[in-house]
Amino acid sequence: MSAITSSPTRPIRTASAAPSFLGGIARFARREFRDAIASKWFLLYTLAFTTLAVGVSFLSLSGVGSHGFAGFGRTAAGLLNLIMLVVPLMALTAGAGSIAGERERGTLLYLLAQPVSRMQVLLGKYFGLAAALLCSLCVGFGISGGVLAWRAGGVGIGSYAMLIGFTALLAIAMLSVGVLISVCSRRSSVATGIALFAWLTLVFVSDLGLMASSLLFKLRVQEIFGLAAVNPLQSFKMAVIVNLNASLDVLGPVGSYASQTLGDGLPWVLGASLAAWTAVPLALAVVIFVRRSSV
Give the DSSP per-residue string, 163-193. Answer: HHHHHHHHHHHHHHHHHHHHHT-SSHHHHHH
User: What residue spans define the domains of the chain?
Assistant: 21-291
Q: Which residues have a Cβ under 8 Å from the Cβ of 206 and sit 6 or more positions away? A: 231, 233, 234
Model pLDDT, residue 67: 42
Model pLDDT, residue 15: 42
Contact assessment for residue 192 and residue 134, using Cβ atoms and an 8 Å cutoff: no
Model pLDDT, residue 58: 77
Q: Cα–Cα distances in Å, from 4 out to 35, 38, 186? A: 9, 10, 17
- The SS3 of residue 18 is coil
Model pLDDT, residue 76: 76
Buried-exposed string 21-45: b where 16+ CB fall within 10 A, e elsewhere: eeebbbbbbebbbebbbebebbeeb
Model pLDDT, residue 7: 47
Contact assessment for residue 233 and residue 265, using Cβ atoms and an 8 Å cutoff: no
Model pTM score = 0.84
Local confidence pLDDT in tens for the 295 residues of the chain: 445 544 444 445 444 455 688 888 998 899 899 988 888 888 888 898 889 888 887 777 665 543 434 566 677 777 888 898 899 999 999 999 889 988 888 888 888 888 888 999 999 999 999 999 999 999 989 888 887 777 666 666 777 888 899 999 999 999 999 999 999 998 889 999 999 999 998 888 766 666 666 666 676 777 777 777 888 998 898 888 887 766 565 566 666 767 777 777 778 888 899 999 999 999 999 999 998 866 6
Question: Phi then psi for 8, rounded to 5 degrees?
Answer: -80, -10
Model pLDDT, residue 95: 93
